[in-house]
Amino acid sequence: MMPNESAKRNKAKQKQKAQLAKAVSKEDAVKPEVAVDTATEVTNNLEALTIADNSAPSASSQTPTNPAIAANSMLEVVDIPGKGKGVVALVDIPSGTRIMKEAPYMIMTADIPSAVDARIKRALAELDDEHRSAFLSLHNANPSRPFPYWSTFDTNALPLGPNSPQGAIYPTVCYINHSCIPNANHCWNKNLKMETIHALRDIKKGEEITIAYILEGTRAERRVHVHERLGFECQCEACGAPDDEVAKSDERRRLITIFGARIGNPLRTVTIPLEVLKECVIFLSIVEEEFGEDTALSASAYTDCFQIAVCCGYAPGAKRFALRAYKCRVKVEGEDSPETIRMKEFSEDPSLHPAWDIF
């Protein structure tokens, strides 16, 4: 490379870093210019984004001192008309509370149905009577399908983390029903080797506790998925809303899918970081309008913003985004989740990240 070319490249890199530093330091600078009406509309409310919020998580988001006792006293499994069994709150549960943590009694790796069915049959023979009868009493959403053990597992299992090929069955968690606008978040905690359930908002005594098996897609798309997986037509708060509200929700979820794919593409993050940062801000606005503040989706978007700030070596922005991601994770996963711990460390020293200042 000629010396003057190297100087030009260095100058261009410095300019890009300066633009990024400016963008992550001031929300107004990342206002997007996207020709999508809804997106433009929501970005007019960027001030509502509390990106600069440095406050510690609220007391209500702390893990109960004795989760085992708390789990027993906070919920019960009951019959829910039209849904089979479900889980309801026995007390008022504040937002951010860890409702329960529970270890699975059966884990299976994805395979062809006949192979999974045979493995479950062998596993049932080795289980104690209590867990064997618990599994055999679970709902099978598609009893006409072959391989009934596999079909029951498919109806009730939760993945061991996002995109995991393994699914698990739990004594109580499996009775928590689906909602497209859930009041609780479920998460596999690798450190605890347990599924955790946290309240996403205040839950009233007597209210059903719900988690989401699927969040993306229009109401029609989600209903097909829920019917295939669980065997009923979803009548949750989001699906049962008036048609004009459903239309707005459908549009927001369509945009969440589009922007989620864009900001999840690492090649774009490296080549057009400023654009991706703008898209993260749009994504956050739409997610918070649809699902409320500080959800798992918000945590992922704040983590993406953090990574962009890390790549440009801008410590104040990186710390701020890491703190926001940490705060979301505490609420939806708890202080002991591996990702919460990681974001807490980065909020204190973002230069620990392997991509620090690579731009």
**Smallest gap, in angstroms, from Cβ of residue 37 to Zn ion?**
25
User: CB-wise, 116 or 180, nearer to Zn ion?
Assistant: 180
Q: Is 222 exposed, middle or buried (0-12, 13-18, 19+ CB in 10 A)?
A: buried
**Smallest gap, in angstroms, from Cβ of residue 230 to Zn ion?**
11
Question: Are 157 and 150 contacting, i.e. CB atoms less than 8 angstroms apart?
Answer: no
**Of residues 21, 74, 234, 256, which one binds Zn ion by CB under 5 A?**
234
Question: Are 287 and 305 contacting, i.e. CB atoms less than 8 angstroms apart?
Answer: no
Name the segment binding Zn ion (CB under 5 A); options: 10-18, 238-246, 306-314, 347-355: 238-246
Question: Are 182 and 214 contacting, i.e. CB atoms less than 8 angstroms apart?
Answer: no
Residue 236 in contact with Zn ion, rule: CB under 5 A: yes
**Smallest gap, in angstroms, from Cβ of residue 245 to Zn ion?**
13
CA distances from 311 to 11, 130, 261, 285, 301 (A): 17, 52, 20, 23, 15
User: CB-wise, 184 or 276, nearer to Zn ion?
Assistant: 184
Residue 230 in contact with Zn ion, rule: CB under 5 A: no
**Residue in this structure with the two tokens 């922005």, named with its chain if needed:** 317
User: CB-wise, 31 or 229, nearer to Zn ion?
Assistant: 229
Residue 106 in contact with Zn ion, rule: CB under 5 A: no
Report d(CA 14, CA 312) in Å as an integer: 9
Hey, which residues does 79 pair with through a beta bridge?
A: 85
Name the segment binding Zn ion (CB under 5 A); options: 13-21, 31-39, 42-50, 229-237: 229-237
**Smallest gap, in angstroms, from Cβ of residue 70 to Zn ion?**
28
**Smallest gap, in angstroms, from Cβ of residue 214 to Zn ion?**
9
Residues in 26-55 at the binding interface with Zn ion, rule: CB under 5 A: none
Report d(CA 46, CA 282) in Å as an integer: 9
Question: Are 178 and 161 contacting, i.e. CB atoms less than 8 angstroms apart?
Answer: no
Residue 215 in contact with Zn ion, rule: CB under 5 A: no
Name the segment binding Zn ion (CB under 5 A); options: 203-211, 232-240, 269-277, 296-304: 232-240
Hey, which residues does 158 pair with through a beta bridge?
A: 168
Report d(CA 47, CA 41) in Å as an integer: 13
**Smallest gap, in angstroms, from Cβ of residue 218 to Zn ion?**
11
Residue 239 in contact with Zn ion, rule: CB under 5 A: yes
**Smallest gap, in angstroms, from Cβ of residue 244 to Zn ion?**
17
User: CB-wise, 173 or 180, nearer to Zn ion?
Assistant: 180
Hey, which residues does 106 pair with through a beta bridge?
A: 169
Question: Are 215 and 297 contacting, i.e. CB atoms less than 8 angstroms apart?
Answer: yes
Q: What is the DSSP string of 151-189?
A: HHHHHH-EESSTT-SEEEE-TTGGGPEE-SS-SEEEEEE
**Smallest gap, in angstroms, from Cβ of residue 224 to Zn ion?**
12
User: CB-wise, 239 or 277, nearer to Zn ion?
Assistant: 239
Residue 310 is encoded by which pair of tokens?
A: 């890390």
Residues in 129-188 at the binding interface with Zn ion, rule: CB under 5 A: 180
Return residues touching Zn ion (CB under 5 A).
Answer: 180, 234, 236, 239
